[in-house]
Chain A
Amino acid sequence: MKLRSKSILIIAGFIAGIVNGLCGSGGGTILVPSLVFLTKVKDHNAHATAIAVILPLTIISSFIYVKSGILNIQITFRIMVGTIIGAYIGSKLLNKLSINVLRKLFGIFMIIAAIRMVL
């Protein structure tokens, strides 16, 4: 691998790690477009590779949060069960719904939520 592309990957990984640890989410949302734009990785493989990167980062971040006593086992367990059920439904819906429309809809949700959080 060329030094230049390796440096770009190192920077992208570092930023994804910081954001994922600091905001507790979003590492993948940063990594997927970075991989698509900066490397010649295909869209689907960029998704798969991003999860493989974010998983170990999330385990380390979780460890630091839990060690600091930041934990709610009861809610975490229920969300975990819900997420697994939801992820299964989501993967089935993937080919049936327009992701583009949904993406924009959730973009609007996120902006409204962000504004509500600071007001």
Chain B
Amino acid sequence: MITLIIGIVAGIIGGMGIGGGTILIPGLMFFLHTEQQIAQSINLLSFIPAASLAVFIHNRNKNIEKKILSPLIVSGVIGAILGSAIAVRLDPSILKKLFAGFLFIMGVYEIFSK
């Protein structure tokens, strides 16, 4: 039940465009004590269905800027392969510190963004 509630809260935040994943990952670790990598895997996988639906709807409403899509995706895929390959090999305690640093920067950004 707690798992479902964590998902709903993350979904609400994500659905409002505030970045549900950055909240979901520490939520999973604090409440369910999942390992850093597992929490990240859960976030990545659970993003796919809702995001697919969002892309479908945005595409129908013509909100996606198609002309800038290909340079972003091509370089993004290379970055994603590199980032994931490092993440799956890192010691969980090191990845956790890295993630905490990222989370801190994101938190400061959210506070000072318009």
Contact = CB atoms under 8 A, between A and B. Distances in A.
B50 to A, nearest CB: 5
B99 A23 contact: yes
A6 to B, nearest CB: 5
Interface of B: 3-26, 28-30, 32, 34, 37-52, 54-55, 58-59, 61, 63-65, 67-69, 71-88, 95-104, 106-114
Interface of A: 1, 6, 9-29, 31-33, 35, 39, 41, 44-49, 51-62, 64-66, 68, 70-72, 75-76, 78-91, 93-94, 97, 99-100, 102-104, 106-111, 113-118
28 contacts: A9-B72, A14-B78, A19-B102, A22-B86, A27-B76, A39-B65, A45-B65, A46-B65, A47-B63, A51-B58, A53-B73, A56-B77, A60-B77, A61-B83, A64-B88, A75-B38, A76-B46, A79-B42, A80-B7, A81-B7, A87-B11, A89-B8, A89-B11, A99-B17, A103-B110, A110-B23, A113-B30, A114-B104
